[in-house]
Amino acid sequence: MRNKITVIGAGHVGETAAFNIARLELGDVVLVDILEGVPQGKALDSFESSPIFGFDSTVLGTNSYEDTADSALIVMTAGLARKPGMSRDDLFYKNLEIVEACIREATEVSPDAVIIMVTNPLDAMCEVARRASGFPRERVIGMAGILDSARMRAFIAMELGVSVENTHAFVLGGHGDSMVPLARYSTVAGIPITKLMPHDRVDAIIERTRKGGGEIVKLLKTGSAYYAPGLAIAEMAEAILKDKHKILPCAAYLEGEYGISGTYVGVPVQLGRRGMEKIVEIALTDEERAAFHNSAESVRELIEMIPVAAG
Ligand code: APR
């Protein structure tokens, strides 16, 4: 039997994720939105591309959670996207309500699913989803680090004129301006980038990575990034549904790891069929640890703004 994957939100990110999940034949996709006709139209368009690509996953658009019942995976993208000049944190109260309502409905009919959170501000919305679902932390994980690392990899490849395939990037912390790209763990063909370019270029790449989401928002003027986020979601979905035990940077709820408890923050996570199998702890320098804890603290401040009723 095929897996069923629910994608909530048929906006730019949701449709891109749904299309790529179907293209990878990870299962049959159900795309849900409040707008009538939009998920149906986008799902049909995606499915009509299947003869060209040659994939056999179905894509169904709907406005009803009944159609999503017994999903193995729930991808939550519904919410408002950032507008120019709006920080991810400004979105907080608007998206909190949306996440709470959608996650309650979706998990009621798919109680065994793994949830991939995408709605921003990401780390805080993960906590809203964890509380609203009542799921264990292993089954509520956020997509951010893959996207941030992909951006850093793209900038490294541009700087050095090498294949993106040779690049590896390591980004820790919250999905926001306080994220912590780690240069000494970021490599080209296994060589740390600190040995391949001057410090000021490394610093410029780190800065551009931190502001990567905002750079796209500024250019687009309406809406935010979706190609890279949509594919990052598909990579996480593949690692989970194919039980790959793949280590990817994700937002995870820490319970003592890295000396932090009770908050979501980006760390390397091993993903498999049950969701998060383990959190990988790496040694940090004093400076890196301070930046990481500072980033976790800014997430915690946001989490403390979640009303007790949420969950
Ligand atoms: N239930 C279902 N769908 C909803 C709801 C709801 N309660 N509220 C809003 N939506 C839908 C909208 O109708 C819209 O189709 O969520 C979709 C959001 O789509 P876009 O505005 O295109 O936003 P997108 O670019 O996809 O970003 C979605 O992902 O990366 C994050 O910051 C981004 O939080 C944002 C999210």
In the chain, the number of structural domains is 1
Average pLDDT estimate for 23-38: 98
- Residue 230 Cβ inside 6 Å of ligand 1? The answer reads no
Active-site residue, 293 included: no
In short, whether 79's Cβ falls inside 6 Å of ligand 1 is: yes
DSSP at 70 = T
Q: Verify whether ligand 1 is closer than 6 Å to residue 142 (CB atom).
A: no
Does any domain span residue 309? Answer: no
Residue 133 domain-assigned (yes or no): yes
d(CA 254, CA 305): 18
Is 217 part of any domain? Answer: no
Strand ranges for the chain from DSSP E: 4-8, 28-32, 59-62, 73-76, 114-117, 140-142, 167-168, 171-172, 180-181, 187-188, 191-192, 246-255, 261-272, 275-279
Does 229 have pLDDT greater than 70? yes
Atom of ligand 1 nearest to the CA of 225: 25
Q: Is the pLDDT of residue 176 over 70?
A: yes
Domain that holds residue 86: 4-142
Task: State how far the alpha carbon of 251 is from the alpha carbons of 52, 176, 209, 238, 247, in Å.
Answer: 35, 12, 17, 17, 12
**Is 132 a domain residue?**
yes
* Residue 135, domain CATH: 3.40.50.720
Q: What's the 79 CA to ligand 1 centre distance in angstroms?
A: 4
pLDDT of residue 89: 66
pLDDT band at residue 90 using 50, 70 and 90 as cut-offs: confident
Mean pLDDT for the chain overall: 95
Give the closest residue to 182 by CA, choosing from 220, 131, 145.
145
Q: Measured from the CB, is residue 119 less than 6 Å from ligand 1?
A: yes
In a domain, 254, yes or no: no
Q: How far is the CA of 43 from the centre of ligand 1 (A)?
A: 16
In a domain, 161, yes or no: no
pTM attached to this predicted model: 0.96
Radius of gyration from C-alpha coordinates of the chain: 19
Average pLDDT of span 69-93: 84
Q: Is residue 310 part of a domain?
A: no
Q: Please give the Cα distance from 235 to 16 (Å, whole number).
A: 12
How far, in Å, is the centroid of ligand 1 from the Cα of 235? 20
71 falls within a domain: yes
Residue 65 alpha carbon to ligand 1 centre in Å: 16
